[in-house]
Amino acid sequence: KAGVTQTPRYLIKTRGQQVTLSCSPISGHRSVSWYQQTPGQGLQFLFEYFSETQRNKGNFPGRFSGRQFSNSRSEMNVSTLELGDSALYLCASSLGPTSSADTQYFGPGTRLTVL
């Protein structure tokens, strides 16, 4: 069974631009969660989607948004990029919603650099 895939793996943008990251979960998984990883803050939860609905949201500004499609693939969008948005963005999939405590399986991440 293929694992979680994320595209692109690396991205360089400039301040003020917007970016869209993509995540394809493991086949059969319906929940996708997004995390931001930075050296000083560790992994910070962004949001979770289950069956195309956002179920959970972390403490990030509205510039961070996401969506999930009927095939469970998910995208996250960051608008008006800031230097501080430079981070590794990780996507995790699980069978059920995070409230079910199903194991989360992570993709390799997208490394975003904002110049």
Partner 1 sequence: DQQVKQNSPSLSVQEGRISILNCDYTNSMFDYFLWYKKYPAEGPTFLISISSIKDKNEDGRFTVFLNKSAKHLSLHIVPSQPGDSAVYFCAATFPGNNRKLIWGLGTSLAVNP
Q: Are strands 31-38 and 42-50 parallel, antiparallel or unpaired?
A: antiparallel
Alpha carbons 33 and 85: distance in angstroms, whole number: 18
Is 4 among the residues that bind partner 1 (CB under 8 A)? yes
The amino acid sitting at 27 is S
Q: How far is the CB of 87 from partner 1 (least distance, A)?
A: 14
Is 32 among the residues that bind partner 1 (CB under 8 A)? no
Is 71 among the residues that bind partner 1 (CB under 8 A)? no
Is 100 among the residues that bind partner 1 (CB under 8 A)? yes
**Partners of 6 in the β-ladder:** 23
**Partners of 77 in the β-ladder:** 20, 65
Binding segment toward partner 1, per CB under 8 A, in 13-21, 60-68, 77-85, 97-105? 97-105
Tokens of 72: 């469970």
Q: How far is the CB of 58 from partner 1 (least distance, A)?
A: 7
Q: Are the C-beta atoms of residues 21 and 9 closer than 8 Å to each other?
A: no
Indicate which single residue of 24, 26, 48, 64 sits in contact with partner 1 (rule: CB under 8 A): 48
Closest to partner 1 by CB, 27 vs 54, is: 54
Binding segment toward partner 1, per CB under 8 A, in 11-19, 63-71, 72-80, 88-96? 88-96
Number of helices (H), then strands (E), belonging to the chain: the values are 0, 11
